[in-house]
Structure 1
Amino acid sequence: MFHEIKRPFLLSTPNWSNLGALLSAGIQGVNQIDPNIETVLHIENFDDPAGVEWWVDSALNAGVQFDVLGLSAYEEFQGPASAWRSTMQRLASRYPQLSFAIVEFNPRGRLLADIVREIPGGRGLGTFFWEPTESGYWGNAIFSQQGNSYYANSSDFAVYDQIVEDYGLRILQ
């Protein structure tokens, strides 16, 4: 699997001071534009809590100051989905200063929305569906193309309508 190829590189990054300096410089550039912008660091190894902790601890030890930890969630790469809730609870407990988001997923929208919503203190910021207009090994599109236009597949949006209802959210018009 693809993530197995990347993991040895990720866990053997020998020079966190350089990576930390690059990440910090990018965050500093964002803060110069607007210090209220929250910064997100996104990593993919949601299936490996110890690997996530190693990476976040390395970033923090290198002086990287960020606000949100973004994670990918695909069963093919970060599965099984049955482990995601406990992984998120573990990370939220270990890093109370961070907020969290699933910044890439397809499918499993309801499960991931519930997991993120359960993070204490409102630190779960949301989920982001990956590639809503294309189907692939990662999952199915939720929009269909006709000519130069895309149309929402209503059956695919039913889960999100249910989330709005179950969470007591309101849709802004």
Structure 2
Amino acid sequence: MAHGARAVADSSPGTQVALHLAEGGDNGGTVWWFDNARSRGVPFDVIALSFYGYWHGTLDDLRYNVNSVANRYGKDLIVAETAYPFTLADSDGHANIIGSQSQLVSGFPASSQGQANWIRAVSDVLAGASNSRGRGLFYWEPAWIATRGNGWDPADPSSGNAWENQALFDDNGRALPAVRWG
């Protein structure tokens, strides 16, 4: 990992190196991982966390972790991956990764407004980060709609994907409100 970070610096001196870790709501795991990276001399500029509220804890867990690591490491933070369903309906015959009411985050329905509210809530956590260290978020996978040939298997045009109900566009390619959340 250290060699990769140094190769980035050598080939593109102005590029910042981000280390990306899942489990954005797990402070103990995040501190353990970044302490180990630091102790091994891995250079990094940005802490990147994945945060899916249906897997990685609560927004309060994310908030605690973001503030803790911002203070501990003095680095900027991003949420490198987040997503939320605008529906629970399956549009391509391939089971959705989040497809039942029991998987949803309390207070965030599987609706276009629920999705927009989710992005706003995660963004608000980052906007409130200690020492103004929150830089923003990236959405996984905004354009992965239920379209033939847009599935998991590039060799099989009939393959589906498990994320189409979390795209930022509906099944007809029209932008959902979450695209304009800000």
With normalisation by structure 2, the TM-score equals 0.66
Gaps in structure 2 of 5+ consecutive residues: 85-117, 146-161
Letter in 2 for 1:142: L
Contact 1:133 1:144 in 2 (8 A): no
Q: Out of 20, 31, 51, which is 2:29 matched to?
A: 51
1:127-161 alpha-carbon deviations (Å, 9 max, x no partner): 00110123646962111354xxx4322x3334x2x
Aligned residues: 133
Which residue does 2:178 correspond to in 1? 156
Deviation at 1:80, TM superposition (A): 2.2
Contact 1:106 1:139 in 2 (8 A): no
- Rounded to whole Å, the distance in 1 between the matches of 2:38 and 2:50 is 20
Aligned: 1:129 with 2:155: no
Q: TM-score, normalised by structure 1?
A: 0.69
AA matched with 2:83: N
Residue 41 of structure 1 aligns to which amino acid in structure 2? Answer: L
**In proportion to residue count, which structure has more strand?**
1
* Cα drift, residue 36 of structure 1: 1.1
> Is the CA contact (8 Å cut-off) linking 2:17 and 2:44 kept in structure 1?
yes
Give percent identity, aligned residues only: 28
Tell me the amino acid that sits aligned with residue 170 of structure 2: S
Task: Specify which structure has the bigger relative contact order, considering alpha-carbon pairs within 8 angstroms and separated by 6 or more residues.
Answer: 2
Whole-angstrom distance in 2 between the partners of 1:138 and 1:79: 23
- State how far apart, in whole Å, the 2-side matches of 1:115 and 1:31 are: 30
- Alpha-carbon distance in structure 1 between the residues aligned to 2:132 and 2:178: 27
2:4 to 26, 35, 41: 26
Contact in 2 for aligned 1:142/1:152 (Cα 8 Å): yes
Indicate the RMSD between aligned Cα atoms, in angstroms: 2.0
User: Is residue 2:53 matched to residue 1:75?
Assistant: yes
Larger helix share, 1 or 2: 1
Structure 2 counterpart of 1:118, from 125, 128, 132: 128
